[in-house]
A and B are shown apart, each in its own frame.
Chain A
Amino acid sequence: MSLLRTGLRSAADLDRVFIAVCLIVPLAALGLFFVYPLATVALRSVTEPGGSIGLGNFAVILRSTSFWRATAHSLTMSGSTTAVVLVLGLVVAFALRRCRILAGTLVMGAVALPLLMPSLVQGLGLIFLLGRNGLLTKASGIEINIYGFWGLLIANGLYALPQAVLIISAALRSADARIYEAAEILGTSPWRQFRDITLPNIKFGLLSAGFVVFTVTITDFGNAATIGGDYSILATEIYNQVVGQMNFNLGAVVGIMLLFPTVLAFYLERVASQRQFGSHSDSAVPIVPVWTPRRDVPMTVAAWLIALLPIVTVGVVVFASFVWLWPYRFDLTLRHYAVKVAGGYDPLWTTIYISIWAGLVGTALTFALGVALQRMPRHAVKPIYFVCMLPAAVPGLVLGLSYIFAFNAPGTPIYFLYGSAVLIAFCNVFHYWTQGFLTTMTGLRLVPASLQETAACLGAGLPRVMRDVVAPHMAPTIVSVFFFLFMQSMVTLSAVIFLITASVSVASVSIMRLDEAGFTSQAAAYATCTMGVVVAASIVMRVLLALMTGRRKSAG
């Protein structure tokens, strides 16, 4: 008897240790690689020109008219992008998860395409298509001015859509088919089913997606630089201060200001999500959509229409990389693939290495943290949750520079990371932490609690519950988080540009250098190669994954 009790107690202890590890490791990493660097930025924002501490910098920024104009622009832009992307994202995610549409996997792939290239190249693609001398403009004869609000809306929309779809479809992935059956029997119309069952159930996912879209568009600089024209936004204000005028402290002020809309958005989201009703029922029966022409034909058309723009935008860049001289000589050539940039294609391999690590580390950390948070009291979760929302609100430029302040400090034990590929990988993990974290949390909410409890009652320790119950349930979410982090690390530029060294560089920097040096088509070629590598790597990894799960299934 006593033997059994000690056995139980040690199992409980083991669970406690497991949760502690799941909590402490991600939090320590978050502290070291995000909070601490961000604190150095906060310090800069209150460091006045003379070196004293004060709010003088804030006064300077708050007095400038350009700041308020940029703020108004940023809010308008991010608000409209969020509205548009949420609607489109819901359509795509709903089509993918709740309908039987034609070639759904391809739609998802197409929507994710903009994640595969730096925003610089995406802007290029839009200009090639819709610019004053663009293909569509010339074909249609209608000259629209895409430089400014509309171009920025399209570019930001393209970039944010896959992230919204990722989160919304994690929310749509599981639901209880029996509720819908009951509704069906009661004669509820499909529209009411959608309004009264589906929407309330995915409210958390929708709010999270809205939050992510809003913050990533308010912080993105790449699109604003290529296609934003004179439409100044807060991220360009930071760039003007930091890069244009070498005035980091004022840039830091704008960076801190950018956190405010995010704090507000976070608060609104929390308030709203508290009112969410009935989360996941215990023995939910997964929905297997049945082919319903009345619903599925229009949804197929809608999803493919939405997927068309990213396909065409990316396609035109790939095409341009094979064209002799865009847009004057359309003979096909491979000459742009002999790139003249320092290091040639070497940075591409470094980037793959960095991206795989970022994907693995990021997925493991967000998953561990999510598991720990689920087992903690609500009041303790809140502040952690809040910190996890902040990375989305920090522009890459600010994050990259903050890493210099934090890690270029000889005499500290973390100095050895400075200038290494590992630091770039960590920077990427925390740059995109929020999206990964929110997707994981959305997925975790949908793992039936009763199943875990049953497993625990049967004597399974937490690690075992994780492995055999939660992980299999979460597998699709885990895989999408990994790929999201992997793909973003392959193409991100704004933060890593400050962390590359003479010997460690990445593909996106090569693309930018080629573009800066005037070799636009070579930049397109390099971007095409990067995209090819990402697609190939994704296929290889998916095949491996399928093989692994297949073997486990047959073994079990």
Chain B
Amino acid sequence: MKTLGAQMRKIWQVCVFTLLMGSVAHAGPVTAYTALEEDEIADYVAAAKKALPDVDLKVLRLSTGDLGARILAEASNPQHDVIWGWAVTNMMDPRVLALLQPYKAKGADKLAAPYRAADDKWFAATGYMAAFCVNNERIKAKGLTMPKDWADLLDPKFKGEVVMPNPVSSGTGYLQIVGILQQMGEEKGWKFLKDLDANVAQYIKSGSRPCKAARAGEFAVGTSLAFAAIQSIQEGFPVTMVIPASGAGFELEASALMASSKNKADAQKFLDWTLAPDAAGIYGKYKEIVTIPGIKPSAASVKAGLPADVTKILLPIDFAKSAVQRTAILERWQKEIGR
């Protein structure tokens, strides 16, 4: 038995040794955790690899919520070097901020104040915003008029034709109700949400799903994301993108350096690159919101109905406030509206 034990120990030692050797030999990779969209990531990674040939970039893509669970679960021993393009409301969670290391990325100083952390823990080059996906055929079939703003959805004719993301499970759902609450003020905002509730057929678990339900003709209106609407129109679905006339709620996609990174030099190179001109050039192709000054939206987005200067239609969202109030707002939502 003793010899067996000794042997087992030896095997372990060999395993651990090779493992360590392995990790020393490959000190190169920079692992990025991201919630950016699938097709844009492919484009960015190709460009980044060209610009930074010596950086071995590895990317794991998960949805915003799944990524948050992953990052926090791994917090005791993070497996990634950077967070790339993740909802800033989630990034502002104190448990996440504690994992980050302040880093002034090259070009971050050109970003306006709301788009970077005062302590340099994160910066956001891009963002996404709320928009309605309206199914033209269902609107026609049901004799409805094309909505222009949130208030239009209160019309009793829309009863059972509106689908929203559930704010408790979806960041998009939360940004939509925060937009309404911060724009109308607490009291009016809650009353509005309750009135709207009468017409809502269901609160779906994810942010892009309401758009998919609307484009498939299941419901007339899905309150979703501009990205999902533009993409659906490009695919050929009979969908109109409606950006709420009184202003759209939005979310920033923030990037940050992990304090635990074992390859900070390369990680910083990559973060610098996300603000570099050649990255910024591609953002215009995919993003409704680019915070780097001077980037125009893509032709497809403009065709889908995105204004040339998006900043004019964005609501003045206070992200710090929205992060702090999150628990209280969601509790109230579950109590008064949640099903």
Contact = CB atoms under 8 A, between A and B. Distances in A.
Interface of A: 64-66, 127, 131-133, 147-148, 225, 229-230, 232, 236, 239-240, 242-246, 248, 325-329, 340-342, 401, 404-405, 408-410, 413, 416, 418-419, 497-498, 500-503, 513-514, 516-520
B144 to A, nearest CB: 15
A380 to B, nearest CB: 24
A325 B216 contact: no
A133 B62 CA distance: 30
Given A246-B69, A325-B235, A236 B326 contact: no
B305 to A, nearest CB: 17
A328 B218 CA distance: 13
Interface in B287-339: 326-327, 330, 334-335, 338-339
B60 A408 contact: no
A36 B5 CA distance: 22
A242 B72 CA distance: 10
A327 B217 contact: yes
B49 interface: no
B339 A230 contact: yes
A80 B19 CA distance: 50
B236 interface: yes
Interface residues of B, number: 63
A132 B218 contact: yes
Contacts of B65: 243-244, 246
A147 B169 contact: no
Contacts, number: 139
Nearest to B68: A246
A434 B166 CA distance: 33
A148 B160 CA distance: 14
B237 to A, nearest CB: 7
B202 A147 contact: yes
Nearest to A416: B19
A244 B236 contact: no
Contacts of B79: 408, 418-419, 501
Given A133-B218, A325-B235, A225 B206 contact: yes
B61 interface: yes
Given A342-B59, A401-B69, A408-B73, 17 more contacts: A127-B216, A127-B218, A225-B205, A239-B169, A240-B166, A243-B66, A325-B235, A325-B236, A404-B73, A409-B77, A410-B77, A413-B16, A498-B73, A517-B38, A517-B231, A518-B208, A518-B235
Contacts of A514: 38
Q: Which of A64, A225, A236, A244 has the most CB of B within 10 A?
A: A244
8 contacts: A64-B334, A127-B218, A244-B170, A245-B330, A248-B72, A342-B42, A518-B228, A520-B212
Given A244-B170, A246-B93, A413-B12, A329 B216 contact: no
B298 to A, nearest CB: 16
A69 B329 CA distance: 20
Nearest to B13: A413
Chain A binding surface SS class: loop
Given A236-B205, A513-B61, A132 B217 contact: yes
B202 A404 contact: no
Given A243-B65, A245-B327, A325-B237, A340 B39 contact: yes
Contacts of A66: 334, 338
Contacts of A497: 62, 66
B169 A243 contact: yes
B15 interface: yes
B205 A239 contact: yes
A503 B203 CA distance: 34
B90 interface: yes
B205 A341 contact: no
B201 to A, nearest CB: 7
A401 B73 CA distance: 7
Contact of A133 (B77, B208, B217): B217
Q: Which of B63, B73, B228, B330 has the most CB of A within 10 A?
A: B73
B176 interface: no
B70 interface: yes
A244 B169 contact: yes
Contact of A230 (B90, B203, B217, B235): B203
A61 B33 CA distance: 31
A112 to B, nearest CB: 27
Contacts of A246: 65, 68-69, 72, 90, 93, 95
B152 interface: no
Given A325-B235, A328-B237, A240 B169 contact: yes
A146 to B, nearest CB: 10
A131 B218 CA distance: 7
B168 interface: yes
A400 B173 CA distance: 25
B234 to A, nearest CB: 9
Contact of B38 (A341, A410, A413): A341
B245 interface: no
B205 A513 contact: no
A500 B202 CA distance: 31
Contacts of A410: 77
A328 B236 contact: yes
B19 to A, nearest CB: 5
A540 B201 CA distance: 47
Contacts of B326: 245
Contacts of B72: 246, 248
A243 B68 contact: yes
Q: Which of A133, A147, A325, A502 has the most CB of B within 10 A?
A: A502
Contacts of A131: 216, 218
